[in-house]
Each structure stands twice: as C-alpha cells, then as structure tokens.
Structure 1
Amino acid sequence: MHITRNPIFKRLIVVAIPVFLLVACRSKKTVEESSAFTLSDTMMAKCDFYKATMEPVKNEIRLFGKISADNNKLAQVYPVVGGVVTNINVELGDYVRQGQILATIRSTEIAQFQKERLDAMNDVAVSEKNLQVAKDLFAGKLNSEKDVIAAQKELQKTKAELNRVNEVYKIYNLKSGSIYNVVAPISGFVVTKKINQNEQIRSDNNEPLFSIAEINEVWALANVNESDISRIQEGYNAEVKTIAFPDKAYYGKIDKIFNAIDPETRSMKVLVKIPNADFKLKPEMNCTVAVRYIEDHQLVAVPASAIVFDKSKYWIMVFKDRHNIETRKVDVYRQVGDISYIKSGINAGETVISKNGLLVYDALND
C-alpha cells in the first residue's frame, strides 16, 4: 500500500522538534535551579567562617613525665633529738604554716641541752665575778694587769659558749622540759610523712620525718627520647595536662634541659615550670607535656574544625557566597592543636566554613 506524504505535515514536524527541545531545556534548567543549594539564614547563623592564611608551620612533640615540687621551695624536717612520738598534729596533704607544730617527741636528750645551757650560764656568772675581783685587786695593786686581761678573756669565752647554746635553742626551738616540738620551717603542703604515733625516733635517722613544699608553682619533669633530643630547645612553649584533670591545660616554657641520659630509660629530662594557683597539681602526678615549636617554612592554615574526613580523604567547604559553596579535597600536612596546615587544595585568602561544615557537606554531597 502506498502512503502519500503530506508536505505540510513534514513542516509541522520540523517546527515542532526545535520547540520541543527548547521546552525540554528550559524544564531541565528549571529543575537544576530548583535543586541548587542555598545556605539559609538559620544555617548561616549556625556557621562560622574563617579566611585561610599563610602561617609558619608549628610542630608538636608529646612527652610523658611527672609533676614535682620545686626543689627551691621544698623543706625536709629531720629529727633533732631521739625519743618517743607522743603526738602527731598533721597528715599527708595538709596545708601548714611556718612555725606550726607538726608533732611532739618526748626525749631525754632535751635534758642534756638544758644542762649545757645551765652550765654555760653559771660559767658566765663565775667569770664575771672573777673579772670584778681581778679588777679590785689590780686597783689595790695586789695583782697585775695581766691577771685582769686573763679574767676578761675567760669571760668572753664563757659568753661565747652561752651564745652558742642559746643559738641551738633558737634554731631547734627547744623549750624547758622533756618535750620537743617538731615545727614547720616553711608554709606549704605536707608531701611526705614518715612518722607514727608512739614510734621510737633516733636522732641519727637519715630520713626526714616530714617534707613540706610550696606548690603555688610546680615542675613538670618529662622524658625526651633520644630521637627527639635534637628537636628540643630551652624556651619552647609547653602545654601540660594530667590524668586527674584531663580537660584542664597548664602552660609554661622549657626552663631547663638536663644534659644527661638516663641509662635505664635511654631518655633525657626537661623541666617546665607551671603556675599552680589553684593547687590542683600535686607532686608525683603523671602528666603529658606537649612541646610546640615553629618549623622553617609556611603553609596555608585553617581551623582543624573546618576539615571533614570522608571516604578516606580530607575535604573542606570553600565559601564564596550563600549560593556558591564548593566541596574541595585538600592535602593535610599536619594538625597541631586546633590548627590544620594544608599542603594543597586551598589558597590563602579563601574563606572556609569552620563550624558546622559537616552539615553543609552532607547537604551538598548526599
């Protein structure tokens, strides 16, 4: 069967095809525009924005150590006399003031000190009388000037001995009777206590009864591995944290490097002085010391909160305006604290979303 083709029908088809394509393109464009992401006012208020900057790269070495009292503010109390402990007034960790009685010891040795003092006082009295007699005899020409000088020297000698005994009383805070009071030489916290009730104490004991430390400033003594020794210098900033207070950071600087290797740990110690106004840090606490220093090159730096980790890669949300936000893959060089250094993927001066960027990332990439 033969079909006759109408020229008018052909023209209609030719005209209809471009019209259909134009309508289709416009429809597609409308769909794309309706699906384009725009940051709402509510989301804008929840986000923070940061302009990437070129900064010197900081590095960090994490060390482990212990809190220690400042040796220059530590006093150890040794027994001056032997005897029996009759009373203990403080316990480990107590705060004491200078001159406060820590414990009392009943001792027969106190009587010996008292005898020495009485003997010295009697010798001074006798020497004074002898000098007066020598002066009277010299006035009556019954002895020589040499006898007077000898009596004066004897008096000086006995007075010197009395002064010595009195100084002993003053230094050791000795009192009359058989009771010896152990007193605090400085104000601070009792950090060691090695004395018990009714214990027999010997005067030649080599261990202190108490150790008292001022801990308004303490030391963090950290171990540095041999591989890190060349990277540590005095004056580097340090952040100290303890297990007891993991959310509290204390800041100081490396004040001293002990240039000796511990043969057991194969490490070298560094000292960081830390202000401790709240007295939370106690000697023998374990701590971590993060030592930070600056390397000799610069990279683009952004807040660590701006980095999104997904699909085993690092991403960042580059903000141009609320209608133009780009998901960009970046190469992270290092993160130190709350700063991330970027090797590639972003330039200095570009603005990134540093807070709630993950929400924007999910909205754009889901």
Structure 2
Amino acid sequence: MKYKIIILFLLITASCTNKKEEIKIENELSGNELSISNQQFINENMKLGKVVSHNFLKTITTNGLIEVPPNNVANISSYKNGYVNNVAVLVGDYVKKGDILVNLSSPEYISLQEEFLEKSAKLSFLEKDFNRKKQLFQDNLISKKNYLKVENDYKSTLINVNGLTEKLKLLNINIANLKSGKIASFIPIQATISGYISEINITKGSYVTSATKMIEIINTDHIHIELKVFEKDVMDVKKGQQILFKVPESSNKTFKAKITVVGNTIKNNRTVKVHAHIEEEGLKFIAGMFIEAEIIVDSKTSLSLPNSSIYKENDSTYILVLKEKNKDNYIFKKLPIKLGLKDDEFSEVLGIKDIEAKNILIAGNYML
C-alpha cells in the first residue's frame, strides 16, 4: 500500500510538471515574438530575405486554338468528276506545291482531249482559209458577206480552242504532249501549296465530283493563335499587347505571343475573335491545338514578398521579421501587414515603414 501511494504521488507530480511546460511553450508561441533554434533553422531549410520589386500583371483570362491563315490551308478537289485511280500520299506526309497527290480517270477526260484535237485541226484549216479570203477581199475578188462568214467561223473556233486549252490546263493535262497526239488516260491532281497532309477523304476507286474535298493540306510556316474574348473584356484588348499561353494537354511551358488583330464583330456567343502572332520560331505546334491564355492589359511594379512568407492567423495577416540573432537562436517578431496585388508567386506589401531594411523569414516556415 505504501508503494502504491508513492507511485501515485510521482505520477501526479510529473503530470503537473508537463502541464506547466506545455503552458510555457504555448504562451511563447502565442506572443508577438518567436524563438527558433539555429539547428531548427537549418533543419527546416529556413531562409531570410528582403522585399523585392515585382511586376504585377493585370490580365484577361481566355482560351482559343492554334490556327493557320486561310491562305495556308488548301482543300484539294477536281474540276471534273472522275474515279480515283491512285492516292500517292498519306496523312502526315510533307508535300511541295506541284507534287502529284491523286490520279483521276474518266471517259470525259478523253472526250475533252479529242474535242480539243478536232477543234485545233479545224482551226488550222480555218486560219489558212481566213488569211486567203482576207487577201481576196482586200483585192475585191470576193464579197464582203463571204469574207465576214469566214472571219466569223475562224474567230468562233479560235475562242473554242482557247477555252478548251484553259480547261485542259485546269486538269493538268500537258498541251504540248496532246498536240503531238498523246492523249492522257488520267489526270494528275497536284498540291496547290506546300505543307503537311492533314486529311484524306478518298480511297482507290472512289467517285469524286467537283464538290468533293479529297485532301486537305496545312502549311504551318505562319501559325498563329486565335482567342475568344468576351465582350465585357474586349475594350481593354489592343493590338500589340503581349499574351502568355499554354497548351495544357501537352506541356506546362508558357509561350509568348503578340496581338496583331482585334475583331470588330461580336459573335452569337458574345465573344470577339483576337488573333496573335507567336513570338518564338520553330515551335512544333499543330493546327487545332487548344490553348489557355492570359492577355496582359496592364502592369504595376511595387514592393512585394514571396507568398511563402505570408502568414494568416484568424482574420490577421502577418510576416516574421528578424529582431535578433544570437549564438543559439533566431528571434522573430510578428508584424501585421496589409496586402495589395497578388499573383502565383508574390504579394504586394502595403503600409509598412522602412520595410526595405528588414530581414524577413521567407522560406521554411511551413512547420511553424
């Protein structure tokens, strides 16, 4: 029984001692000053720093797409209906202007060439007859009526031949070869611009008309971004402003662009189109990529601190300013502050006298 009383007394004494120590620590942490040992300062990777001048940006958040100018996109079709004889490219291939993409065949192509040869032969005869009758008319050896009839036949046939020549050129048929008697059994469809094949809508044997979009080519040499800006923000958007944008599905890297055109028409979704030129060259963007963007419409440089140095306690905001450093401890003082502008990294500090001279705990405070 005696031993039990002694043990109970020791437990009560130890408990009272621990409570006193806890109260002492609690009071120390809840005051305006905080003492941190040198070892803790090192272990927690704490760091002192001063306020810095930081440029805060006023931005408009928007989104859009990577696009190319209309002249850098080509939809390849045929001027005449026909059947696909061969497809010479695949999606992703790079082609140069004039490269053969598709061969088409049709009896109509052959008939057109035959008509050209017949009209050309007739024109040759009529030209000689016209020149002969013209001389006879000048010598008053034939009537004006006969001369005008020959002239009319010659000129109308000449018009027909010239028209057929242009039609055949549109079909990429070699006129010189045709005049030598070589009738082409198919017509080559050529690339109208240099670029990458982005779309193929045909296969061998497909029947195509002049309205059929067979192939799409995109030239990415002059790629740009197209943004949608809501009408409430568009008054702040101007040509020449810088844009910071990301392609969220492929990278976290931020790219730069500059506004070149601000639209003057509001679409049904209450937005205005804004076009911008990408400043960096050689980037491997693909037309149609979705982007997230910030348009910088204004900026302000002011004294600021890293967000990691800002503490919030209840409704108060404060920082820890170094008051004293001795051989064992860093002693900090809590200093209430008011904040202004803020971004992902820094906060503007307002209304503190001589803050530039103060050493402030800016890192390693997450354990406090």
Instruction: Using structure 2 for the length normalisation, give the TM-score.
Output: 0.69
**What residue identity is the alignment partner of 2:294?**
A
What is the aligned counterpart of 1:251 among 235, 256, 280?
A: 256
Secondary structure at the residue paired with 1:272?
Answer: strand
Does 103-112 or 160-169 show the bigger shift?
160-169
1:242 to 243, 247, 270: 247
Partner of 1:29: none
Secondary structure at the residue paired with 1:253?
strand
Q: What is the root-mean-square deviation of aligned Cα atoms in Å? A: 4.2
Tell me whether 1:182 sits opposite 2:189 in the alignment: yes
Contact conserved, 2:320 with 2:332, CA < 8 A, in 1? yes
Q: Is the 8 A contact 1:67 1:282 kept in 2?
A: yes
* Per-residue CA distance 1:19-55 (angstroms, 9 max, x = gap): xxxxxxxxxxxxxxx98869x99x99x9796763386
1:276 CA displacement = 6.8
**Secondary structure of 2:203's partner?**
coil
Number of residue-to-residue matches in the alignment: 320
Separation in 1, partners of 2:354, 2:223: 43
Say which SS state the counterpart of residue 92 (structure 1) adopts: coil
- Consecutive unaligned residues of structure 2, counting only runs of 5 or more, are 1-34, 175-182
Deviation at 1:149, TM superposition (A): 7.5
**Equivalent residue for 2:76?**
77
Quickly say closer, same or farther: Cα 1:279–1:149, change in 2 above 3 A: farther
SS of 1:80's equivalent in the other structure is coil
Q: Which residue of 2 aligns with 1:260?
A: 265
Aligned twin of 1:293:
297
The residue identity in structure 2 corresponding to 1:233 is K
Q: CA deviation at 1:63?
A: 0.7
Identical counterparts, % of pairs = 21
Tell me which of 219, 222, 237 is aligned to 2:227. Answer: 222
More deviation, 154-163/237-246 = 154-163
Structure 1, unaligned runs of 5 or more: 1-33
1:310 is displaced (CA, Å) by 4.1
Report the equivalent of 2:284: 280
Decide whether the 8 Å contact of 2:324 with 2:332 is kept in 1. no
Q: Which residue does 1:194 correspond to in 2?
A: 201
Q: In structure 2, what is the Cα distance between the partners aligned to 1:322 and 1:188?
A: 67
Deviation at 1:187, TM superposition (A): 0.4
Q: How does 1:284-323 map to 2 (within 5 A)?
A: 284-294=288-298, 298=300, 300-302=302-304, 305=306, 307-311=308-312
Aligned match of 1:231? 236
Secondary structure in structure 1 of the residue aligned to 2:266: strand
Equivalent runs, 1:125-144 vs 2, <5 Å: 125-134=124-133, 137=136, 142-143=141-142
Q: Find the aligned partners of 1:321 and 1:218 in 2 and give their Cα distance.
A: 58
3-state DSSP of counterpart to 1:120: helix
Q: 1:320 to 1:77 in 2, by over 3 A?
A: farther
Partner in structure 2 of residue 208 of structure 1: 213
Q: Do the aligned residues in 2 keep the contact of 1:218 with 1:275 (CA within 8 Å)?
A: no
SS at match of 1:90: coil
SS in 1 for 2:265: strand
Change (3 A) 1:138 1:64: closer
**C-alpha deviation, 1:137, in angstroms:** 3.8
Number of the residue aligned with 1:100: 99
Aligned amino acid, residue 128 of structure 2: K
Cα distance in 1, alignment partners of residues 146 and 85 from structure 2: 52
Equivalent residue for 2:363, pick from 352, 358, 365: 358
Give the letter for the 2:267 counterpart: D
C-alpha separation in 2, matches of 1:110 and 1:188: 29
Distance of 2:219 and 2:171 partners within structure 1 = 22
Structure-2 change in CA distance of 1:299 and 1:284 (3 Å) = closer
Residue 116 (1) aligns with residue 112 (2): no
- For the structure 1 residues 192 and 147, does the alpha-carbon distance in structure 2 shift closer, same or farther, using more than 3 Å as the test? same
Residue 6 of structure 1: aligned partner: none
Task: Give the aligned partner of residue 53 of structure 1.
Answer: 53
CA contact (8 A) 1:216 1:279 kept: no
SS of the residue corresponding to residue 259 of structure 1 reads coil
Report if the CA contact (8 A) 2:202-2:214 is conserved.
Answer: yes
Q: What SS does the aligned partner of 2:258 have?
A: strand
Distance 1:321 1:186 in 2: 72
**How far off is 1:352 after superposition?**
7.1
CA distance in 2, matches of 1:322, 1:117: 101
Deviations 1:267-286, CA, capped at 9 Å, x for gaps: 33322232574352212221
Q: Secondary structure at the match of 1:79?
A: coil
Q: Tell me, in whole angstroms, the C-alpha distance in 2 between the residues paired with 1:123 and 1:346.
A: 101
SS of structure 2 residue aligned to 1:282:
coil
Q: Secondary structure at the match of 2:92?
A: coil
Aligned-pair distance for 1:233? 3.0
Aligned counterpart, 1:31: none
Shift of residue 321, structure 1, vs aligned partner = 11
Matches of 1:339 and 1:227 in 2, distance apart? 27
Rate the CA distance shift 1:192–1:315 in 2: closer, same or farther, 3 A. farther
